[in-house]
Amino acid sequence: MQIRNAMEIVVRENLAEILQQREKYGVEDVCTCERCQLDAMAMTLNKLPPRYVVCNQGEVYVRIAELDQQFKVDTLFAVLNALRTVHANPHH
């Protein structure tokens, strides 16, 4: 058994989803380099409360699927905001 921060995985999945469909989310101009992606992820995770879950290896995805839809939508918008903030003030 282990403790995982489900928020970290949800943020990572949302970031991947946004970057795959940047036009749909209106962020087609943001930088997609690794540094900016990680900066946006760190910024999002610092703003949102962690959601720790206890699970077996791999089971964390089952637990994430049980999280409510509103939680996922809120996280998506937080990632979008972070991407725009990083884009306005990149570390490179």
State in angstroms the smallest separation of the CB of 35 from Zn ion. Answer: 5
State in angstroms the smallest separation of the CB of 5 from Zn ion. Answer: 25
Structural contact between residues 8 and 51, judged by C-beta atoms closer than 8 angstroms: no
Amino acid at 46: N
State in angstroms the smallest separation of the CB of 66 from Zn ion. Answer: 34
In the complex with Zn ion, the residue whose CB is nearer, 31 or 67, is 31
CA distance 42 to 11: 9
With tokens 């939680």, the residue in question is 71
Residues that bind Zn ion (CB under 5 A): 31, 33, 36
